[in-house]
Structure 1
Amino acid sequence: MRYFLFFLILLHGLIHLLGFAKAFSLAPIEQLQLPISKVSGLLWLVASLLLGLTAILQFRHSSSWPLWAFGAIAVSQLLILLAWQDAKWGTIANVVILLAAVVAFSSHRFEQSFLQDVKEHLLPTASPSELLTIADLVHLPAPVQRYIQYTGAIGQPKVHNMAVTFRGRMRNKDDDWFNFTSRQFNDFSDPTRLFFMKANVKGLPTYGYHAYQNQQASMLIKVLSLFPVVDLDSEELFRTETVTFFNDMCLFAPAALIDSRIQWESIDSTSCRATFTNQGTSISATLHFDEEGKLINFKSDDRKEINIDQYLPFSTPVNSYRYFGTNNQFYLMNDGQAVWHYPDGAFVYGEFHTVEVRYNTEELSVLASKTPK
């Protein structure tokens, strides 16, 4: 679709050169029967240049291309109206480009709401040079201690926030898979999770924003970034997203598991139970580890499946690990799944591949960069 739109805009711009050529008698243009003044000819050239610039900006993923498109379409359509008999079919191209520009502009505005929320949390991190030590782990169950050491967190700065990029695929029960890319920001000092997803669902661009902050949780999913298909904001969603927040902490920020808001209960040498409390809401999860020290599964009964409005057992089995960080110093989840355990059996609704993990960032550019392909 991106390439089709690029060539459409470019071709539409080149066609406008015919008006310029006819006005200045640069070539015989038999397709245009009506006379064109030199002033109009210059406007046809301006429209062509504006459309050419729009095509380049669109191809390069510039967020400004819809604004240039609006200007180009305005000039183009005015000229088409003045030469309606010869140029009326150009209106079709203008309508197609306009619709694409409106969707792109709305998508950018939607994504900016996510980035603005992230920016508000990007304060200088507290004690960025304070390192995590073995002494910080003494109150934790043995398998959690092994896990934190296994991931390479010891001797590294304590974690106050993180930025994570994913790609993968998701589905609802009885529906087909759809591919997605996502970026998220988590603040652990003031529990916050801001998750922005881009997907293509049934051929339509669909964006989703999950926000967990300021004692509230919300979920907004828009088709074409214009039409809301999911818009939730409730106390029960806060409980559900508290599970998700704690799941992120366990999988991607093991150094943050020293948090005093977590109460631990040992089960055996490879599993334990944790209760995490935020803003008076407590959720529990059971963590399973292997003998080597890896976290291999996270299970909780405190997350609601919003599609059926029921609490179901939820788990996130980990398939593989790899190194992340500027110096490849952190060994974290590479591929994993998100699973609902329905009465008729387990249903994998999400497959996640971790692209990048960064800790203690103060730069919005970490999340404002291009979404991975």
Structure 2
Amino acid sequence: MILLIIIFVSLVTATVVFWQIPYSKTKAEFQKLASGLLKDAPSASNKVFTKEDWAALPPPVRKYFETAGFTGIPQMSSMKAVFRKVDFILSPRKPAITIDYTQYNFIDQPARIAFIDTSMYGVPFQGLDSYVGGEGGMKGVLGKTFTLFNQRGGEMDQASLVTFLSEVMLLPSAALQSYITWKRVDDLHAEATISRYGITASGIFSFRENGECSSFTTEDRTAIGMDGSKQKVKWTAYMDNYRIIGGVRQPTHLKAVWHYEQGDLVYFDSDNLHLEYR
């Protein structure tokens, strides 16, 4: 009995020590992807945005970029977004957890990768959300070792593509790419469609009278549960609390919402966003 207790305590101690070690296979995978994409991304351009760049866009989109202050700043090829202390829900009927969330968006492919870092009941939980080479994926790893889910397939490819589309107001170079087409709906709404790697997705951007973008809504995201279940659900990304940062008006409060029949699920809620361009 004493021997069993010693073995058990040793295993628990070893596990706790392992959790405290900075190295993480999931984080290393994210960093490797980021390094490769940053290496392949075009170097910083000497060109700056001009009013002519926005001229072909629908009026509300054009007004957004003009009033936000992007005219005159250097054109970028990628974006890094860092969110701290985000309220996050993995799936319906699960309690919210607090996460740190770091992502990169690249306009050339396009590509998007994100790393989730948190803990659940003291156990490290990390996630990797990726869209590279037209393939989307979402993986969750518990205790740095046990893969809870690893979602891939056609639905993830489209979901990842439309997620990239939802963020182009933060990355104006992407909004001007040929793989995105725009259509005016009215003075405060515009439809955007993205087509890449044989997949198409679209959604509606909504704007305020002052030019701010308030939301992006799409029917082209599939809610995929941790158990692999799939359900087509309307999805909205909300942008609010705009502030002037580095001479550009940017939203600082972002929310992502699934509109289920039984009610809305706000599964990502952050008022702490930091953007860097390259």
| TM-score between both structures, scaled by the size of structure 2 | 0.90
Question: What are the within-5 Å matches in structure 2 for residues 143-154 of structure 1?
Answer: 143-154=60-71
* Alignment partner, residue 363 of structure 1: none
| Ranges in structure 2 where 5+ consecutive residues have no aligned partner | none
* Alignment partner, residue 4 of structure 1: none
Whether the 8 Å contact between 2:49 and 2:75 is mirrored in structure 1 is yes
Cα distance in 1, alignment partners of residues 58 and 146 from structure 2: 47
* Alignment partner, residue 133 of structure 1: 50
Cα distance in 1, alignment partners of residues 122 and 15 from structure 2: 16
Whether the 8 Å contact between 2:107 and 2:173 is mirrored in structure 1 is no
Alpha-carbon deviation of 1:290?
A: 0.2
Instruction: Confirm or deny that 1:319 pairs with 2:240.
Output: yes
Pick which of 302-311 and 105-114 moved more.
105-114
Instruction: Confirm or deny that 1:281 pairs with 2:199.
Output: yes
Question: What are the within-5 Å matches in structure 2 for residues 58-137 of structure 1?
Answer: 95-105=11-21, 108-123=24-39, 125-126=42-43, 128-137=45-54
Alpha-carbon deviation of 1:257?
A: 1.1
Q: Deviations over 1:129-182 (max 9, x none)?
A: 111110111110010011112222110111210111012111122221111001
Distance verdict in 2 for CA 1:254–1:127, change over 3 Å: closer
Alpha-carbon deviation of 1:292?
A: 0.2
Which AA in structure 2 matches 1:320? N
Cα distance in 1, alignment partners of residues 173 and 191 from structure 2: 17
Pick which of 98-107 and 129-138 moved more.
98-107
Considering fraction of residues, name the structure with more strand: 2
Q: Deviations over 1:240-279 (max 9, x none)?
A: 11111111223x2134311111111111111111111111
* Alignment partner, residue 262 of structure 1: 180
Cα distance in 1, alignment partners of residues 118 and 202 from structure 2: 30
Question: What are the within-5 Å matches in structure 2 for residues 1-373 of structure 1?
Answer: 95-105=11-21, 108-123=24-39, 125-126=42-43, 128-167=45-84, 168-171=86-89, 172-250=91-169, 252-307=170-225, 308-324=229-245, 328-360=246-278
Which AA in structure 2 matches 1:245? F
Alpha-carbon deviation of 1:201?
A: 2.8
Higher relative contact order (CA 8 A, sep 6+): 2
Cα distance in 1, alignment partners of residues 173 and 271 from structure 2: 21
Considering fraction of residues, name the structure with more helix: 1
Q: Identical aligned pairs, as a percentage?
A: 22
| Ranges in structure 1 where 5+ consecutive residues have no aligned partner | 1-88, 361-373
Whether the 8 Å contact between 1:130 and 1:157 is mirrored in structure 2 is yes
Whether the 8 Å contact between 1:164 and 1:354 is mirrored in structure 2 is no
Cα distance in 2, alignment partners of residues 154 and 122 from structure 1: 24
Q: Deviations over 1:180-215 (max 9, x none)?
A: 001111111121111000122344321000111012
Distance verdict in 2 for CA 1:135–1:309, change over 3 Å: same
Cα distance in 2, alignment partners of residues 329 and 255 from structure 1: 17
Distance verdict in 2 for CA 1:269–1:118, change over 3 Å: same
Equivalent pairs counted in the alignment come to 271
Whether the 8 Å contact between 1:336 and 1:351 is mirrored in structure 2 is yes
